[in-house]
Amino acid sequence: MSEFLTVAMPKGRIFEEAVELLRMAGYRLPPEFEDSRKLIIDVEEERMRFILAKPIDVLTYVEHGVADLGIAGKDVMLEEERDVYELLDLKISHCYLAVAGLPNTKMNDVAPKVATKYPNVAAAYFREQGEQVEIIKLNGSIELAPLIGLSDRIVDIVSTGRTLKENGLVEYERIVDITSRLVVNPVSYRMKDERISELVERLSTVIEEQIVHQP
């Protein structure tokens, strides 16, 4: 009997694509996955347990070893350097981090302000650009900040670009492309290497096939 694998799944945007990918890789996940409010779903026939976490918390579960594996956005991984290994680029939930703000505006010469959910990424980016900025940490609705005068710029995720557009904001610089990644706890990787390698192999095959079939 093979060991149980525990996988931390991010609730929200990434969730459906991640579930679809696992199903395409042949994992028989029950319909309750999408419908239920359960936070722990055991799939006995696959010897797998899924925990449904906030995306920002997935790395915490994996780092502490309560989940062997997790699916996390590269954005969160760049922001929080955690003791986990990245196994695979799942090539889902494509988006990017960008600097945005009101159109035709310059950053304040004195103490320009940047609002973001990603203070570390933003600070590193502006440092590289040789610009001194004050970072203001927000937890969501980042686009509000320039609209109400809290900041000159924001650093945030752009996916379809709708949020920027509908709020009259423009993109100034693209920082880095983001996709979701499969991550593993280093100890689990050693202890459950056979099961984990099989999962990686099955997912890789599906990801490759999808790339080949992309228009």
Which residues bind to ligand PRP, rule: CB under 6 A? 140-143, 156-163
User: First and final CA of the chain: distance in angstroms?
Assistant: 42
The one-character DSSP state at 130 is: T
Q: Residue with CB nearest ligand PRP?
A: 140
Residue 81 Cβ vs ligand PRP, minimum distance, rounded to whole Å: 21
Residue 102 Cβ vs ligand PRP, minimum distance, rounded to whole Å: 16
What gap in Å lies between CA 50 and CA 30, rounded to an integer? 12
Nearest to ligand PRP of 113, 192 (CB atom): 113
Nearest to ligand PRP of 157, 184 (CB atom): 157
Residue 164 Cβ vs ligand PRP, minimum distance, rounded to whole Å: 6
What gap in Å lies between CA 198 and CA 202, rounded to an integer? 6
Residue 40 Cβ vs ligand PRP, minimum distance, rounded to whole Å: 24
Nearest to ligand PRP of 133, 164 (CB atom): 164
Give me the DSSP letters along 156-210. Answer: EEESSSHHHHHTT-EEEEEEEEE-EEEEE-HHHHHHTHHHHHHHHHHHHHHHHHH
Nearest to ligand PRP of 26, 168 (CB atom): 168
Residue 156 Cβ vs ligand PRP, minimum distance, rounded to whole Å: 5
Alpha helices in 39-192 (DSSP H): 58-63, 74-79, 119-128, 144-147, 162-166, 186-191
Residue 160 Cβ vs ligand PRP, minimum distance, rounded to whole Å: 3
Tokens of 106: 């310059």
**Three-state secondary structure call for residue 35:** helix
Nearest to ligand PRP of 43, 157 (CB atom): 157
Nearest to ligand PRP of 55, 70 (CB atom): 55
Tokens of 55: 């995306």
Cβ distance 61 to 70 under 8 Å?
A: yes
Tokens of 68: 């062997």
